[in-house]
Structure 1
Amino acid sequence: MAAPVNERLIILNHLVSRSSSHAGQEHAPPIHGAEELLRILDMRRSRGEAIEYLGATDHEDEKIRKENGFRHDFVRLKHFNITQGEFCKYAVMLFEHADQTQKTFPVIHRRNLAGRELSGDEEEVGASTAHVVVRLPNDGDYDDGSYRCAIEHVHSGVSRKLISTLMRRQLRRHARNEIWTFEKFIKNKKGKPEIKKYRYSPKLDLLADVARALADGTASAKVLTSMTFTKRSERRATGRETSVKHAEYEADVAIKVAMTQAPKDSTERRTWVQRIRDEFDQLGYTSQLYYRSAGGSEMRGKVHQDVEGAADLLLCPKEIISLSSPARRWRDDMCDEMVAALRELVDRDELWTRVG
């Protein structure tokens, strides 16, 4: 039985702040609070930069990046604000996704059953929006880097994966442009202590489990056997900055990760898979998943966005909220009623005993 149109499904997640660096585990970079990082996203939004073109060739120059992504699907941060509550703050965001394949909208007359398609002009494409609310500690309160997060679920629209992708890529661009570094004391070749600077970038992750076996309506379960990550024209250096000889080269890089290396425990395995995919996604690699069916044959393919959205329904805790009017797939501005309902969910302590 279908849910009434004035109800909306909400996905519950934990937003976790982390940092990454090539300095190694012994030189851990600093961790930034979610409010600081989200305000960076808002700053980029105000400059028209908080947008990610899916599948387009990336570029450091924003103008060239937008030109490359002109005919690609994209996700962007449309609106943002931080409001003060009685015991905490709330970061409220509205994300928008554009689907280049959607150019028409079919409608049918209720009485005579005549149908037709409504279409936009040449430059208009289908769009959807989703509200996200993150609960933040007040200034001076304890901050452990993990925050309650409620995401409006929109079918074939803004998924948890798209939101996470935008956050990670935008923060990486900011850290690269601003040359974020941290300092550590090390011993030089003579054994004397000296200060060395390392580059790093912050991350905001939306945590959820990932299933190891996928199944569709017509085939037996397909078990994930390996993952391949590919990056075209990867630039590498053959020497260190202090070397006398220093040269660079470009090559197509492919890294294969076999599932035989995964932990045997099912929970640890799901977390292991997700972390690897997220890490290579942040570095700009394209992922290819390989499966083995019940018959033993191997197949491959990308995880379709609709599958990712459906996976959210299986992997994440969920709640349903009621609205006074029918739920809408796209909004030009934030819905106060929706935001109030999401704030109530992140404040309800009993919902979060099973999350994280």
Structure 2
Amino acid sequence: MKSMPLVIGSAMVPFRRYRDGTGPRDWVRTVANEAIADAAIKPADIDAVIFASETDFLSLQLVPAPLLLDEIGLSGCSVSRVETGGASGGNALRSGVMHILSGFARRVLIVGYEHAASHLAGDDVRLLYGLSFDAELEGWAGATATMLYALSVQNHMARYGTTVEQLAAVSVKNHWNACDNPWAHKPMTITIDDVLASAVVSTPYRMLDCSLISDGAAAVVLAHPDAVPERSDRPRVRVTGSGCATDAVRLGDRDEPGRFSAKELSAQQAYAMAGVTDPMREIDVVELYDAYTGAELQGIEALGLSPAGEAAARLCDGVFDRDGVLPVNLSGGLIGQGGAPGAVGLAQAITVTRLLEGRYWPGLQAGRSFRRGVTDCHAGVATANVTHVFERED
């Protein structure tokens, strides 16, 4: 535990569609410089840089890491790139933890970015996302991410009786949380009826059940405990647990398609490392991968934050609201804040870290003090999962 890294700096640009002539080079340069400044260190203090993005096909730039290193003025520094779909940012953070634990680096800059919303036509982006599953058996056959997530949640609904109204309540909550987040792509005040009246995409999912495709970037600086600058303006936040686990790519190869089994394993790894034995009691706040409304409920259960089949009822009882016992996706999640896949895992880390530090957006911090938080992201339908536990040092 004593050698686990601390988060000493962070920054992100708002998630949205950028049509102002800027692109990944601009966003990466901005968040990298701001995160280093937020860490109260100099660029020369960085030992390694890790970049994350979902795929080169979205940015149309092969081997982007050295180019982006030039953009932030750190040419010559050790660099690597992580690509794990929607889990890319989380896996890059995990790689940063490994760099520090291994002794290869004392301070690591991790940057995630995506140019998914405004760079290519929507149909092209959907095709590429479909190819991120089994390209030969599903992608080229026309299967979409929404279709596969819908099949998964249908299994969950049949097993536990989850209703479309309960799914819609996730959308209402997350869009509402986004209203107090200036970084958010889609802040909205909506009702369950509004969600149920939106266009059907793939039963049971409607338009307002789906997350957004966004442009954006986020950056985090990790440091070994011996390389953390002395400062008194904020408490120290440490990464205390990290987990990663995978499931069968094809839903038909899983015993329970509606259960995020590999996410359970990833969470168990992170909890064991962090010394968490009862997540429902020991976790204070969560940012999880709500690619779709049902995925939030499935994720809550997989993370051990609700008994199986009970997340929907607990959500409707307000347990996961901003003023609830265990707030989930105060940022708005992918549904409200937006989904820039390569940056999502880092944006989650920024939200949780700043909540623990007590310096998140006032309307969402709401005077509350959080001690331990969890971030969770995945690729596919919870196929590759990454979980982290963060803890404030009192």
So what's the TM-score if we normalise by structure 2? 0.26
Tell me which structure has the larger Cα radius of gyration: 1
More strand by share: 1
Q: Taking CA–CA contacts closer than 8 Å with sequence separation of 6 or more, which of the two structures ends up with the larger relative contact order? A: 2
More helix by share: 2
So what's the TM-score if we normalise by structure 1? 0.28
